């Protein structure tokens, strides 16, 4: 499935570039800027490896744990962005982040309780 999604994305991207008339402009840019091509390839490799980790995490631990991991990663990215680059968060951003965390942790807690009840009832 992952391969099919990537193929469809590639076809749609090339079609969009061709129909908008910017395909050759993009290829020309890549010929002039070799470092750009290296960065694109590195990003592609990292993205592919990341997709493998995503699918294995979901398969091994389930979608709830994966959601928690991704939310924690996003929160860490926001925190590091604020610390290293001096980005400011508005009060509504802080409220939104807290609401998202609260919803995810409540959902995870409910799932944990359900699985615990199922395990205790089967024993």
Q: 90 and 45, same structural domain? A: no
- pLDDT band of residue 17 (cuts 50, 70, 90) is very high
> Is residue 122 scored above 70 in pLDDT?
no
Counting the structural domains of the chain, the total is: 2
Which of 20, 43, 61 is a domain's end point? Answer: 61
Tokens of 106: 């409540």
Does the pTM exceed 0.85?
no
More confident residue, 35 or 109: 35
Q: Percent helix, strand and coil across the chain, each rounded to 5?
A: 90, 0, 10
Q: 122 and 69, same structural domain? A: yes
Q: 3 and 56, same structural domain? A: yes
Q: 67 and 37, same structural domain? A: no
Q: 57 and 1, same structural domain? A: yes
Give residue 123's pLDDT: 57
> Is residue 27 scored above 60 in pLDDT?
yes
Q: 56 and 3, same structural domain? A: yes
| Cβ pair 66, 54 in contact under 8 A | yes
- What does the pLDDT look like over 89-107, one tens digit per residue? 899 988 988 898 888 888 8
Q: 57 and 68, same structural domain? A: no
Give the domain extent around 70: 63-123
């Amino acid at each position: 499935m992952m391969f099919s999604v990537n193929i469809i994305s590639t076809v749609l991207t090339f079609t969009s570039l061709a129909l908008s008339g910017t395909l050759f402009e993009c290829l020309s840019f890549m010929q002039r800027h070799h470092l750009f091509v290296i960065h694109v390839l590195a990003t592609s490799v990292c993205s592919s490896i990341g997709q493998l980790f995503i699918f294995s995490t979901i398969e091994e631990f389930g979608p709830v744990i994966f959601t928690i991991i991704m939310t924690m990663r996003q929160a860490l990215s926001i925190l590091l962005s604020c610390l290293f680059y001096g980005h400011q968060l508005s009060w509504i951003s802080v409220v939104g982040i807290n609401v998202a965390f609260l919803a995810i942790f409540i959902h995870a807690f409910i799932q944990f309780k359900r699985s615990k009840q199922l395990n205790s009832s089967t024993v």
